[in-house]
Structure 1
């Protein structure tokens, strides 16, 4: 596991993420709150310190307006590109 405390930044893309990694604050929040994983499990699976997981969750709740914009932007991107996905039921052999 990483021993370096990572800051939350926006250097790689438009979403806040752990410095030097592509792991977003939104992803960490989803893993814990929507999927029910423990902070330790998320940290172990992504080779980050458990403190980074808590740092991301703190950031999520300290910046509710920003995170609402992030979530809205994600939803808009999904809707915009939905026509590019294939429903498994529509695939024929």
Structure 2
């Protein structure tokens, strides 16, 4: 497990993430609060200190407007490009 304490930065696609990693605050929040994973499990799976997981969760809840904006932007991007995806049921042999 990593012993590096990571700051939350906005260098990657202007989305808050753990410094030096591509792991976003949003991803950590989804793992813990939506999938129900224990913060220690998330930390172990991604070679993080558990403090980094809690730091990301704290950031998420301390910046609700920013996180809602990011979520809206992500949903908009999905909707904008949805026509480019193929439903497996539509693929013919």
Please classify the TM superposition score into its range, dividing by the shorter chain length: over 0.9
* Unmatched segments (≥5 aa) in structure 1: none
RMSD: 0.7
SS in 2 for 1:17: strand
Normalization by structure 2: what TM-score? 0.96
Aligned to 1:78: 78
CA–CA separation in structure 2 for the residues paired with 1:5 and 1:54? 11
CA–CA separation in structure 2 for the residues paired with 1:28 and 1:68? 15
Aligned to 1:31: 31
Hey, which bits of structure 1, 4+ residues long, moved more than 3 A? Answer: none
Deviations 1:26-69 (A, max 9, x none): 00000111111110111111111110000000000000000000
